[in-house]
Structures are given as C-alpha cells and as structure tokens.
C-alpha cells in the first residue's frame, strides 16, 4: 500500500458571530484541508486553520497549499503511510520550516495509516488515556452584561465552566475591569482565563496581571511579544497566577528554551505550531519533564481539525489546564458527517478508524475556493 496522490483545498467557513483577537476579528475562518489517497483508493483527511491570513503567524492558507503542492507532496508519493514518522523526517531534511504545511501532510497520512489498520489514530500514539477533556469557551461580545448572561447560560447547560476572554485589543485597564466583573458574577462556578495575544508591554503586564490575579483569574496567556523571553520569565516569577506561552511556544527548541528559563509555567499545544502530531508529542514530553502544565490549544479548527487535536490530546497523561478546542461550536456548519460532542463541561474524544470522523465531501466542495 503506497501513497498515490495528495490533494489540498482551501475552505472559508462562516462563523456564528465575530471572534475577536488582538490582531484580527474572525467572521470567516480560512482552513486548509488535505486528502491523501493510496493505491487502493483509501483516503486520509486532515486540516489546519489559519487566523487572518498573515496576521497571526507566518503561514497563510495560500502559502500552505502552494508549498505542499510544489515541495512536500512530491516527497511523499510512493511511500508507505504506516511509516509516517520516517516520511516526515525525510521531508524535514528537504523542507525547512513550513510547520502548518507539514501538519496538513502528516495528519492526513496518519489518518490513512490508522484507517488501513482499522484503528483510531490515538492507537498510533500510545493509546487513549482520556475519553473526554475539559473544554473552555471564549466570551467575545465585549459587553459585560451579555458575557455574564452567556456564561451563566452555558453553566446551566453544563456545556462550559471555563471561560476565556480576549483582552489584547482596546484599553487594557477597561478590559481588566470587564474581566473582574465577569469573574465576580460567576464566582467559584467557573474558571476565568484571559488571552492577551502579545499585546502588552512589560509595564502594562505588571499592573494588569496584578489586578487580574487579585480578581481571581486563573491563567494569563501570552501577555508579551514572542521575542520577550526574559520579560515572560520575570512575570512568571513575580505572579502566582500561571503565565501561559502560546505564540512563543512553537518548535521543540522553543519549548526547551521556555522550560529552561521558566518563560511561562504552562504551554499551549497546537499541532500546527510544532509541525505535526509527532512533534507535538515531543513538545508535551519536554514540558512534562520540566514540570510545566499543558493546555490543549486551538486555531479555531472545524470538526475535522478538532477531531485531530482531540485524539492527540487524549494520549497525553495530564492536560492540567484543559482544552479550548471549541471550534465546531463557532461555525455555522460542519465538515464531517457526524458532529463533535460536547457534554458535561467536556469535549468527547471521537472514537473510530482514523481520527474518528467521516468527511462530508459535499461540504468540502461547497466551501472550497476552487476544486
């Protein structure tokens, strides 16, 4: 069984409401979907999501597709998908960087390899530890009363009891007060975290984190720019509230340096940042060895990408800070025939061949820019 072809599609999925970050507001999410086919016609599917073109990182959907089509796909044709780690090692020797593109390729090959053995993909990564994981939701209306009402409704539904607020855009001091009022309203029923998306300098961070810590916030994500390792280390040392590295924690080398210098005491995992699922497991191992907590991050993936992340995160012993792979709840539509399940404040890990979901080809065709 050898790989015969690798196809790549760019899709634009509409969201149910604007999702605001410091650098971009998502109203339609661009994702890249990969499909690998073997000589017997079996398929494996994958996805990575991007945020605002080039506003979040260096990988745009157009560049991801072009680099796969031109440079990576030719390297995997004719290879046995069960040897996915060897395949990606050989790819890495000829293609530098391009972690998002590598993730599309590796994940599709893993899906195909697992389906060829009629097992869930998590069986190829040591087996399933968790059948479900805690799931956070982002409150994003910008109106304190509305966010409080939404949080209380989701608590009542038992859908979420962890809420994140994006506070990197606008007046940081007003944003902090907004967060404090929400935490006061939900009390001990929910954990509140914030994501700054690199928007503060160190002086602002010192003032605002002190106020957030006093208000009961349970985590502060990437308050400083990615380059400021020393500033992140000072914040981590100064405050009791955990400081998370996200945009700064990409490669295994990045995470080693963060661990060595304590430039954060928790790490957001995202397969696309590390260059695939195998590399993400290595990131998790480095963090675990350093005593750094783990968080299952999201790039706002559809049901397909969420299944990929969920199955990988299910193989990691301790996800101390839970996950935020809520992407399917933010979109108006699914790319899979079956939805991802969310219940009892957790995301249920898909269980079936490959990543446990079946692609809806009609939806791919409908949302694709071109076929």
3-state secondary structure of 176: helix
Strand partners, 10: 32
Record the tokens describing residue 309, joined without a space: 């992340």
Nearest to 355 by CA among 88, 111, 41: 111
Nearest to 3 by CA among 123, 98, 94, 116: 116
Separation CA 1–CA 81 (nearest Å): 8
Q: Is 363 one of the catalytic residues?
A: no
3-state secondary structure of 220: strand
For residues 8, 12, 15 and 19, what is the CA-based torsion angle, rounded to 10 degrees? 90
Q: Catalytic one among 65, 324, 346, 363? A: 324
Nearest to 341 by CA among 135, 108, 34: 135
The helix (run of H) or strand (run of E) holding residue 364 is helix 361-367
Q: Is 230 one of the catalytic residues?
A: no
DSSP 69: I
Tell me which residue has tokens 């409704």. Answer: 153
Record the tokens describing residue 218, joined without a space: 């349970």
* Nearby residues of 89 by Cβ (< 8 Å), 6 or more positions away: none
- Per the CB < 8 A criterion, the answer to whether 138 and 131 are in contact is no
* Nearby residues of 9 by Cβ (< 8 Å), 6 or more positions away: 32, 33, 34, 35, 65, 364, 368, 369, 371
Q: Catalytic one among 166, 270, 273, 363? A: 166
Separation CA 301–CA 198 (nearest Å): 21
* Nearby residues of 152 by Cβ (< 8 Å), 6 or more positions away: 185, 186
- Per the CB < 8 A criterion, the answer to whether 270 and 301 are in contact is no
Strands (E), 223-366: 243-245, 266-269, 293-296, 342-343, 346-348
Active site amino acids: 166, 324
């Amino acid at each position: 069984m050898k790989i015969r072809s690798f196809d790549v599609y760019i899709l634009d999925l509409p969201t149910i409401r604007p999702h605001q970050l410091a650098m971009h507001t998502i109203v339609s999410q661009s994702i890249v979907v990969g499909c690998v086919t073997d000589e017997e016609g079996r398929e494996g599917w994958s996805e990575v999501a991007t945020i605002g073109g080039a506003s979040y990182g260096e990988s745009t959907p157009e560049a991801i597709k072009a680099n796969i089509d031109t440079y990576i796909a030719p390297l995997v044709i004719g290879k046995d998908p069960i040897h996915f780690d060897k395949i990606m090692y050989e790819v890495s020797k000829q293609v530098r960087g391009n972690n998002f593109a590598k993730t599309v390729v590796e994940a599709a090959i893993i899906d195909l390899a697992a389906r060829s053995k009629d097992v869930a993909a998590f069986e190829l990564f040591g087996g399933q530890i968790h059948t479900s994981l805690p799931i956070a939701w982002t409150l994003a209306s910008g109106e304190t009363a509305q966010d409080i009402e939404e949080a209380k409704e989701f608590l009542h539904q038992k859908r979420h009891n962890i809420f994140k607020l994006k506070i990197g855009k606008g007046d940081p001091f007003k944003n902090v007060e907004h967060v404090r009022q929400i935490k006061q309203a939900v009390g001990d029923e929910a954990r509140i975290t914030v994501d700054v998306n690199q928007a503060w300098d160190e002086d602002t961070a010192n003032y605002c984190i002190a106020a957030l810590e006093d208000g009961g916030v349970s985590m502060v994500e990437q308050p400083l720019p990615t380059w400021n390792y020393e500033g992140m280390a000072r914040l981590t040392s100064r405050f009791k509230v955990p400081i998370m590295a996200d945009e700064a924690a990409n490669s295994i080398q990045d995470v080693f340096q963060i661990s060595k210098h304590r430039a954060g005491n928790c790490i957001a995992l995202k397969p696309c940042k590390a260059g695939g699922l195998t590399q993400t497991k290595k990131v998790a191992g480095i963090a675990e060895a350093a005593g750094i907590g783990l968080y299952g991050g999201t790039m706002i993936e559809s049901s397909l990408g969420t299944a990929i992340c969920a199955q990988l995160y299910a193989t990691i012993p301790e996800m101390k800070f839970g996950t935020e792979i809520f992407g399917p709840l933010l979109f108006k539509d699914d790319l899979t025939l079956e939805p991802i399940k969310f219940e009892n404040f957790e995301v249920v890990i898909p269980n079936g061949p490959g990543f446990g979901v079946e692609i809806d080809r009609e939806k791919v065709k409908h949302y694709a820019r071109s076929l």
